[in-house]
Amino acid sequence: MNIAPYIDHTILKPTTLISDIERICNEAKEYGFAAVCVPPLFIKQAKGLTKDSNVKTATVIGFPFGYSAVEAKIAEIILAMVDGVDELDVVINISAIKNNDWQFLANEINNIIPIIKNKNKTIKVIIESGILTNDEIIKCCDIYGAAGVDFMKTSTGYAEKGATLEAVALMRKHLPDSIQIKASGGIKTYNFAKELIDAGATRLGCSSSIAIVTQSAESNGGY
């Protein structure tokens, strides 16, 4: 299979350079990745570098821990949209999950969703599945499924455990069909990437994207 259209080509390290952004944008155009996912500082540059292509520009909100105030996340979202972002990967408040404060989480997403949808942007909520119990993941599916997000995303890549087949399958089982799944965190091989897609993921957040598509080509005898 041609795996490139599933991939968000990602660089989110705090030491990211503009030369890194130029590189991943050029690679995204060359290989036909779905999007580049960049720190908020670089949205304008990424948007400009990919303007003559189908590559979307994505960024992260409340990253990587998710415990910033709802108002702060909203400010980040508005500024990102002013800069031209297409897709927003929003870290939800993990501390609220761990304290069973589901009302807080419902209030958070219900304040965020209208702002993003009003501008016809895409929202992916990051739940950090690697540090959640199955029951917590299912409750997240209930809340964010009801809220009508576009994607539920497994991980930031900063927790000790990233995407797993089990988490993706569990999310797919408990989410409405209309809500997609983005797997991210620790995806370094084509075989694992394909397994995640087979389990229900329709987008993959990867920093090893070139290696993955190269392995894909080798496995399939070309693109």
Contact 154, 183 (CB under 8 A): yes
Binned at pLDDT 50, 70 and 90, residue 222 comes out as low
Predicted confidence (pLDDT) at residue 221 exceeds the cutoff of 90: no
Phi and psi angles of residue 177, each rounded to the nearest 5 degrees, phi first: -60, -30
Domain boundaries along the sequence of the chain: 4-220
Is 124 annotated in the active site? no
- pLDDT tens per residue across span 134-173: 999 999 999 999 999 999 999 999 998 999 999 999 999 9
Please identify which of the residues 89, 124, 139, 194 carries the catalytic annotation.
89
Can you give the pLDDT at residue 218? 79
For residues 151 and 204, what is the distance between their CA atoms, to the nearest angstrom? Answer: 11
Q: What is the pLDDT of residue 219?
A: 75
% of the chain beyond a pLDDT of 70: 99
Distance separating alpha carbons of residues 168 and 40, to the nearest angstrom: 27
For residue 45, is pLDDT > 80? yes
Q: Is 52 a catalytic residue?
A: no
Q: What is the pLDDT of residue 108?
A: 98
20-37 mean pLDDT: 98
Catalytic, 182? Answer yes
Residue 103 buriedness (CB in 10 A; 0-12 / 13-18 / 19+): exposed
By CB atoms closer than 10 A (0-12, 13-18, 19+), residue 161 is middle
Q: What is the pLDDT of residues 167-196, one digit of tens each?
A: 999 999 999 999 999 999 999 999 999 999
Choose the catalytic residue: 121, 139, 182, 194: 182
Third-level CATH fold of 4-220? TIM Barrel (3.20.20)
Residue 4's contacts (CB-CB under 8 Å, 6 or more residues apart) are 31, 32, 33, 209, 213, 216, 223
Q: What is the pLDDT of residue 223?
A: 46
Q: Of 47, 124, 153, 194, which residue is the catalytic one?
A: 153
pLDDT reported for residue 216:
80
Tokens at residue 152, please? 């539920």
Query: What rounded mean pLDDT belongs to the chain?
Result: 96
